[in-house]
Every structure is written in C-alpha cells, then in structure tokens.
Structure 1
Amino acid sequence: MFSCAKCGCTNCEKGEIRTTGSGVSRFLNLQNQKFGFMACEACGYTEFYRMDGKGGLGTVFDVLTN
C-alpha cells in the first residue's frame, strides 16, 4: 500500500518513463534507462524506481522509433 512520505496521502498515480543514458546511448537518443514512478495525487511528491531495461526487443523499438 502506498503512503506518501511527504503528506501521508494513500492515493497515487503509477506509471513508467524511459530516459537516455550517457555516452553513445545519449548521442543516439537510445532510451535504455527504464524507471517506474509513484506520484502522490494530493501533493505531487514522486518517487522513482529503476526497472530492468535490458530487453533487446525494447532497444530495437527505441532505435526504430528515433
């Protein structure tokens, strides 16, 4: 169960984002870093959690869509 560390609210929004890393992946705009997030619906405080982004198929899709 979610409980906001800032205000104590128990309602949250959950989702995922992808970001680029450094070096060659940044130059090629490969979004190979995957994070999940939980954002408090009351105050907006957001926590990010690193997720496994080592999927080969996901990397192929990133290359094709850039």
Structure 2
Amino acid sequence: MEEKGCIKCGSRDADQKEVAMTGGGLSKIFDVQNNKFRVVFCKNCGYSEFYNAQTSTAGNVIDFFFGG
C-alpha cells in the first residue's frame, strides 16, 4: 500500500481549524460571517485546502487531504 501525505511536501503532519467568512452583498457590508469552512493545512509547509464545514466530517476531510 502506498503511503500518501501532503501533495506539496509529502509530510503526514496536518491539522485543521474552522473559519467563517462573509459572503457578498449585505452580508459583506454588515460583516455577517455566514459562510463556514474547515481548513486542513500541512504543519510542515503550510499548504491549505478549504472544505465546506456543513458537508464534511473531520476524519473524512483529513483522509481526503492526504489522498486516502
């Protein structure tokens, strides 16, 4: 079985955090952060990918980041 890791540096040391961002229109004007994302990032090189927080679970996102 092939080992997989970060697509940029090959490291298997990753972490994740949730972030919120504004959309367009009135939400941007009033700074309403209604878009939530999970960011998975490589602790070695900093490569990051954003995933819609409403559609994925923590374990699946890390597996997807490593190509599993």
Whether TM exceeds 0.5 here: the answer is: yes
Aligned identity (percent) is 39
Consecutive unaligned residues in structure 2, runs of 5 or more: 55-68
**RMSD (Å), alpha carbons:** 1.3
Q: Distance in 1 between matches of 2:27 and 2:43?
A: 33
Q: Distance in 2 between matches of 1:3 and 1:48?
A: 17
Spell out the pairing of 1:1-66 with structure 2 (5 A cutoff). Answer: 3-52=5-54
Larger relative contact order (Cα-Cα within 8 Å, sequence gap ≥ 6): 2
Q: TM-score, normalised by structure 1?
A: 0.70
2:36 is paired with a residue whose SS is strand
Q: How many residues align?
A: 51
| Deviating 4+ runs (over 3 angstroms) | none
